[in-house]
Amino acid sequence: MSIPVILEANSSIHDVITTLFLKDAGTIFITKNKCLTGVVSRKDLLKSCVGGWDIYDIPVEMVMTRIPNVIYIYPDDTIADASRLIIDHEVESLPVVIDEDGKGKLRVVGRFSKTTIARLFVEELKK
C-alpha cells in the first residue's frame, strides 16, 4: 500500500482539486473526525465544476461518494482480493482502513491503487 491522500469533509471543492494536483492523486479519501466518510474522484470533481457550482464555498462532502457506498480494504486483505475489487468496481484506488473501536468507525491507514498493482507486477517481472 502507499500513503493515502486525505482531506476533511468540510474542505472546499477548490481545496480538494488543488490537493489532487499537488499530490498527483486520482482519488482523495474524505474524513470527519479522522474517520472515513467518503471518497472523491477526478470525475466527481469535474462534474461539480461543469455544473457551475461555486467550488470555493461548497464543501467536498456535497459531491463525494459516501459510506456505505465506498469500497475499502483492510491491511490483511490479499493483493488478489484488493485487485479484484478495483476491477469489479472500476475505481482508481481503495482506502486501506482499520476499525479501531470495533463499531465501524474506519481510520484510513493507506491506499491501494492501480499504480500499486503495476509496481507489484513490474517487481515480479524483474525476478
* CATH superfamily entry for domain 6-126: CBS-domain (3.10.580.10)
Q: Please give the distance of CA 65 from its chain centroid, rounded to a whole number.
A: 10
Closest C-alpha to 72, from 44, 102, 103, 30:
30
pTM of the model: 0.91
Q: Could you give the residue ranges of the DSSP H alpha helices within 3-113?
A: 13-22, 42-50, 79-89
Which pLDDT score, from 0 to 100, does residue 119 have?
93
89 in helix, strand or coil? Answer: helix
Which pLDDT score, from 0 to 100, does residue 121 have?
93
Which pLDDT score, from 0 to 100, does residue 50 have?
82
Which pLDDT score, from 0 to 100, does residue 17 have?
94
Which pLDDT score, from 0 to 100, does residue 100 have?
84
Which pLDDT score, from 0 to 100, does residue 23 have?
94
Q: What share of the chain is helix, strand, coil (3-state, %, to 5)?
A: 35, 30, 35
Which pLDDT score, from 0 to 100, does residue 51 have?
73
33 in helix, strand or coil? Answer: coil
Cell of 52: 457551475
The domain segmentation of the chain, as residue ranges, is 6-126
Per-residue pLDDT tens, the chain, 127 aa: give them. Answer: 899 999 999 999 999 999 999 999 999 999 999 999 999 999 888 888 887 788 999 999 999 999 999 999 999 999 999 999 999 999 999 999 999 888 889 999 999 999 999 999 999 999 8
Which pLDDT score, from 0 to 100, does residue 33 have?
92
Query: Which residues neighbour 53 within 8 Å (Cβ) at sequence distance 6 or greater?
Result: 13
∠ CA 21-122-111 to the nearest 5 degrees?
40
